[in-house]
Structure 1
Amino acid sequence: MDNSQQFKYSTGVVAYPIFMVLAIWIVFWLQVRFFHGIKNFGVYPLTLKGLRGVLFSPFIHSDIKHLYHNSIPLLVLSMSLFYFYRKIAWKVLLYGIILSGFITWCIGRPANHIGASGLIYVLVSFIFFKGIFAKYYRLVALSFLVVFLYGSMIWYVFPGERGMSWEGHLAGLITGFLFALLFRKTIAKPERYVWQQPDYNEDDDPFLKHFDENGNFIELKDELDESEENQNNLQQESQVKIVYDFKESPAED
């Protein structure tokens, strides 16, 4: 089985999400201290200049409150992504930024759309629908946990609050759903032992051959013969042949 499909903890599960969150905080610090114009690098729909925001907008935030509200969901969801779907985690993140940003560029109002919330909606949507499609209890449980924690976010994909990019949220929701369909065959699964495989046959198991019908441990004939042969070889090697050579002393006068 491909080990990349197994649920397995690694340093990347924590390190990569922390690095991403740290990156958006560093960009915000640079924005506040040195480069105030960074804020204008968001997605501006249907303009050639606004396309640069497809890549840059997730790292740009309007104020500290905006940044804080995006940091915790991004950290939690990206850690879940790298733990349960580490084989495709980077694809979901990178392609998610590009596709959700492009959809925002296509459908958004003429305004500067910034923030990591579009990517967060990609992760929420992907993790939820992927777990439902997988029909595996751990992933389904993860889907319901996402709904419990972030289910209220669904209301922000509709026009409502002033100054909020609901178009970016909707673009992220659509992108996550599309990725759940696109990567449908890439289902993370727990590690299975040999005896858990569907084609497992007890008669072919070399370990179980050492037990009789009553559960008593037995030595197989081939192994006994090999063991006796090894013992004989060791005995032969351990036998030392000693030869004494006597030499007469010369006669004394």
Structure 2
Amino acid sequence: MASEHSTASTGPLARVITGARTALFVMTGALAVIWLVQIANWSGDYQLVRDYGIHPRELGELGDVLSAPLLHGTWEHVESNSVPLFVFGVLAAYRGMRRFLALTLLTVLTSGGAVWLLEDSNTVTVGASGVVYGYFGYVVLRGIFDRNLLDTVIGVLLGASYAYILLAVLPGDPGISWLGHLGGLLGGLAGAWVFRDRRAKAAPAAAATAPGQARSAHADLLKELDDLGI
């Protein structure tokens, strides 16, 4: 009886629930930091934007690629980014924090790097929208590369529901950095491959070593799908 309880407590459904709780906690904390920074930014007449926003092709300002996602130019700017950042972030994070943190760094670098390299030199760019697009691209493709049915369904639903945001990765509104959006999206798509679950490929080969092992692996897969409600 004790053995059955231990197995259930560490099963796939329990891991998903634990991961979702951690993701909710982390993204709530991230949004709290962004809003606290916005309060400080606003109270200082947005001097933080001028000091720590991305100034294209200025070597001394290259480190601001890391600080720019925390900054926003207006209250409307931070409000518009908060909901998608939270939703996409939770979906990107619930499978594991190490992959999520690595993905976040990748999308910050690809988004900010695209702005720093290619944006007009007379602009200062801030905002978390590049990271939002990175999370979006990652969640859409992650299930395919991980060969995970649940994540594939989530990716399809997310892609279908928010496909319209891809319009903002094309040149258009001069007040919106489409380069930052495009760089973040490409970083997220690449992250789905770079941070894929390598065990997804190893499992079929291991299961084929013997008939008994194959049946056991098949039974384990069915149990996992049943635990996840699939």
TM above 0.5? yes
- Encode CA deviations 1:53-81: one digit per residue, 9 max, x unaligned: 21111011111111001000111111112
Structure 2 residue 62 is the aligned partner of structure 1 residue 46:
no
Determine which of 100, 114, 127 is the counterpart of 1:103. 114
Aligned to 1:73: 84
| Residue segments in structure 2 that go unaligned for 5+ positions in a row | 1-6, 201-212, 218-230
Q: Spell out the pairing of 1:185-204 with structure 2 (5 A cutoff).
A: 185-186=197-198, 198=214, 200=216
* Distance verdict in 2 for CA 1:4–1:186, change over 3 Å: farther
Let me know the Cα RMSD of the aligned residues: 2.5
Counterpart amino acid of 1:19?
A: G
Larger radius of gyration between Structure 1 and Structure 2: 1
Conservation of the 8 A alpha-carbon contact between 1:4 and 1:87: no
Counterpart amino acid of 1:34?
A: G
* Distance verdict in 2 for CA 1:157–1:4, change over 3 Å: farther
Give distance in 2, aligned partners of 1:94 and 1:109. 24
Identity %: 26
- Encode CA deviations 1:230-253: one digit per residue, 9 max, x unaligned: xxxxxxxxxxxxxxxxxxxxxxxx
Structure having the higher helix fraction is 2
The ranges of structure 1 where at least 4 consecutive aligned residues each deviate by more than 6 angstroms after the TM superposition are: none
Measured after TM superposition, the shift of residue 104 of structure 1 is: 2.3
Aligned to 1:158: 170
Conservation of the 8 A alpha-carbon contact between 2:62 and 2:116: yes
Most deviating of 113-122 and 179-188:
179-188
Count of residue correspondences? 192
Measured after TM superposition, the shift of residue 123 of structure 1 is: 0.3
Structure 2 residue 157 is the aligned partner of structure 1 residue 145:
yes
- Encode CA deviations 1:11-50: one digit per residue, 9 max, x unaligned: 4221100011111111110011136310111112211133
Aligned to 2:33: 23
- Encode CA deviations 1:163-188: one digit per residue, 9 max, x unaligned: 10000001001111111121223578
Give distance in 2, aligned partners of 1:56 and 1:87. 20
Determine which of 10, 16, 33 is the counterpart of 1:7. 16
Give distance in 1, aligned partners of 2:147 and 2:162. 21
Q: TM-score, normalized by length of structure 2?
A: 0.75
| Residue segments in structure 1 that go unaligned for 5+ positions in a row | 189-196, 202-253
* Distance verdict in 2 for CA 1:75–1:186, change over 3 Å: farther
Q: Secondary structure at the match of 2:125?
A: coil
Give distance in 1, aligned partners of 2:124 and 2:58. 11
